[in-house]
Amino acid sequence: MKRFIIWTQAKRLFYLFSEALKELILSYNFECITVYKFVNLQRFELREDDIIIIIGIQFFKLVPELNNFLKNYRKIVYSTEPLCCKNRLKDTVNYFENIHDKNTIIWEYSKYNIEYLKRYDIKNYFIPFGYYKMYENRIKKNKKKSLRY
């Protein structure tokens, strides 16, 4: 059975998205595990046929050894960086060029990014962020806090 490993370095930032994605994958009867932080991924026993979903292309810069560590695995890299901002554009395009190989698929959250990456002949798929049922629980928990401007 295929096994998906969802990994991100930023648990607080991408926790709800990671868990919603995991829930979706499990609904298709695949095995799916979330792993947070690179040190935990290094300790995790990866199988040769695992598919690693990396949430956040920027972590290839922040965790330089990530690309080499995962070079022999099939990867889905979910880009969460906007390509319309000059300060992120150069680095993000460099990440794509450095990690793009036959074992890597790029998921994009933005239609603008999809069109932009066509210039570089980087194959990618539109997988938008969206509403997830599990967000309701988070909203209910935080509703008791007062909002101040």
Has residue 52 got a pLDDT over 60? Answer: yes
148 backbone dihedrals φ, ψ, rounded to 5°: -125, 140
What CA–CA distances, in Å, run from 65 to 39, 42, 89?
11, 10, 22
The answer to whether 32 and 22 have CB atoms below 8 angstroms apart is yes
Say what the pLDDT of residue 49 is. Answer: 94
- pTM here is 0.80
Predicted confidence band of residue 71 (pLDDT cuts 50, 70, 90): confident
Cα–Cα distance, 54 to 18 (Å, whole number): 10
Cα–Cα distance, 75 to 50 (Å, whole number): 9
Q: Which residue has 């933005």 as its token pair?
A: 110
Per-residue exposure over 37-71, b if at least 16 CB sit within 10 Å of its own CB, e if not: ebeebeeeebeeebbbbbbbbbbbeebeebbeebe
Q: At what angle do helices 135-142 and 11-27 cross, to 10 degrees?
A: 140
Say what the pLDDT of residue 131 is. Answer: 53
Has residue 141 got a pLDDT over 80? Answer: no
